[in-house]
Structure 1
Amino acid sequence: MADSAVPLPFVNVLTPAIPAGQPVPAVLIHGWASGSVYWEPLARKLLDAGREVWIVDLPGYHPGEELPPDFEWTLDSAAASVAAALDARSAAPAGRSAAPAARSAAPAGRPAVHLVGHSMGGSVSLTLAAARPDLVASLTLVGMAPVPQNQGFKTVLNSQLDQGFFDSGTIAKLMHAWYGDLSAADMVRLSAGFKTPVQVLSASAVAAMSGVEPSVPGRVHAPLLVIAGTGDQVRPMEQMRAFVAENPDRQLQAIPGAGHNVHWEQPEQCAQALTEFWETSWPPPA
């Protein structure tokens, strides 16, 4: 990962009214042109199950955030940014904020978190898990496997990068591929990620299309779950199955009828799959 100083991302910490089970928090990392809003249905289900949830805004994606002028947006630098925030929160004394971006402090000495990354956020999570295994209790990839990107998606993004902005027609096309039919209100809320500064959108789009360095998946030794919608138009199920089949320690949970943003469409099924995975994979056998 990047060795230079990285900006600490914004972290929204949500604490359940009645904690249950393990104290390991779930850290949700969004995909390209997305943000915290699309995690809300899943976060509510996890909170109802007694799980603490941290929702991360990747560098440059939080409204009003200004990145250092020398910050280069890559999967490595984004992963290093999240790792720095996790390090800071674990080191913070109880009751004090670990970083300006954090709303509350985590207990000191917390060893690891359950990473949950969607789409490009899955690539960030894989990169982080490979470089900093000490921070990761488990890893879940949602709507993502580290395989070659859909060529149609790459063609659309490259056309927008060439023209220097993302036009409304392309945004609508992408949103339909990701979510299917949306109400007007949900379209406005969920497409807000496209208001991210174009420099950040462009650089993170290149990162999303490039994907993880080939050695990364093999260097991840945390328990790994893939959650995929059977109707995903971005990452077909055969790609998910092929990735999981490469390693007996990987698991696949297919959600019938759901699309690319399976956590938005089927939050209850996703929450159930996550909690069962965490309960059976962590802590590891003595």
Structure 2
Amino acid sequence: MAFVRASSLRFHVQRLPATAGADAPDRPVVVFLHGLVVDNLSSFYCPLALPVARAGHEAVLYDLRGHGRSERPATGYDSRSAVRDLLSLLGALGLGQRPVHLVGNSYGGTLALHAALARPDLVTGLTLLEPPLGGAWVENMLDTLSAAALSLEDSPVPAELLTLRLRKAAHLTSIADDLLNRTSLIDDIAGSRTFTPADYAQLRCPALIVCGEHSELVPGARELAHHAPHGDLRILPGLGHDVLKESSGALREAVLAHLDRAAGAAARPRAGAPPRRGALARKGALVP
């Protein structure tokens, strides 16, 4: 476990060196961005981060601002601040000049997409797992978070969980209460800008988008894959939103193959004109 100072905050960071041969200095570092509130870097560790490192890619995991063991300020939970946090953290780790491949789960996928649009010179690949896109998701998420905030306000649940010796559940509940009731997280999400097809068309890096067959986020993922010049949509059969936990084998194979393709593309000089929109998109493809 390590703590790194970035954006004037203390971030909890795990850095996994590439274990399959020497890590080439021009090979993208794989950075993992987790989801909201009760999520943290640990959700990536066994399903993806360790396999990625063993396959020869340096991996960086960190708890987002206010999440897990990172510092929890009262403000700064908007996407712009998240991108600044990411860039500052990479600089603090001495990786500011290395290309990066961002792997984002759920809301972390949204942040990864923001970062790729803001810094196309830095982000050379994307892997987006169940990325929430579009205004409808924002409205639904705000309703869910607001209801959770009300249920947690002055709630005896954390103390009761400790009484039952359920320390991990009590800790996560306490973090959720702090984030929802004592920070600007809900207001910051409410003020977030939604993506447009024009945004997707600006993406110049390969983007793998993975969704469960029964996920409500599939329509937004299809739109992204259609408009992104290098979009590749994979829909995992029989699954819902949580593909990271429910489909580790198929997901791991898809992600590792995409990382190799994206690393190869990043190493090649780019042509002057981008490929036709959606040329690489696999709309509705099923991974067995």
Name the TM-score, length of structure 1 as normaliser: 0.72
- Mapped partners of 2:84, 2:114: distance in 1: 9
Q: Relative contact order (C-alpha < 8 Å, sep 6+): which is higher?
A: 1
Partner of 1:127: 114
What is the letter of the counterpart of residue 63 of structure 1?
R
Does residue 154 of structure 1 match 2:124?
Answer: no
Partner of 2:54: 48
Q: Deviations over 1:119-168 (max 9, x none)?
A: 11112112222222232121121111422244554323222345663979
How much is the aligned-residue C-alpha RMSD, in angstroms? 3.4
Question: Does the 8 Å CA contact 2:142/2:189 hold for their aligned counterparts?
Answer: no
Q: Deviations over 1:24-58 (max 9, x none)?
A: 22111001021122112222332332332211111
SS of the counterpart of 1:137? strand
Matches within 5 A, 1:1-286: 5-7=7-9, 9-19=11-21, 23-33=27-37, 34-40=39-45, 41-63=47-69, 65-67=71-73, 71-90=75-94, 110-150=97-137, 151-161=139-149, 165=153, 193-196=172-175, 198-201=177-180, 203-208=184-189, 211-214=192-195, 216-232=199-215, 235-284=216-265, 285-286=268-269
- Mapped partners of 1:139, 1:267: distance in 2: 18
Question: Does the 8 Å CA contact 1:26/1:51 hold for their aligned counterparts?
Answer: yes
What is the letter of the counterpart of residue 232 of structure 2?
Q
Question: Does the 8 Å CA contact 1:30/1:120 hold for their aligned counterparts?
Answer: yes
- Mapped partners of 2:104, 2:80: distance in 1: 15
CA 1:128–1:160 in structure 2 vs 1: closer, same or farther (change >3 Å)?
A: same
- Mapped partners of 1:198, 1:155: distance in 2: 16
Q: Deviations over 1:61-97 (max 9, x none)?
A: 1326343x6x422111111101111122236xxxxxx
- Mapped partners of 1:194, 1:165: distance in 2: 11
Q: Greater Rg, structure 1 or structure 2?
A: 2
Question: Does the 8 Å CA contact 1:229/1:237 hold for their aligned counterparts?
Answer: yes
Question: Does the 8 Å CA contact 1:160/1:167 hold for their aligned counterparts?
Answer: no
Q: Could you tell me which runs of 5 or more consecutive residues in structure 1 were left unpaired when the two chains were aligned.
A: 92-108, 170-186
| Misfit runs of 4+, over 6 Å | 166-169
Partner of 2:286: none
Name the TM-score, length of structure 2 as normaliser: 0.71
Quick one: percent identity of the two aligned structures? Answer: 22
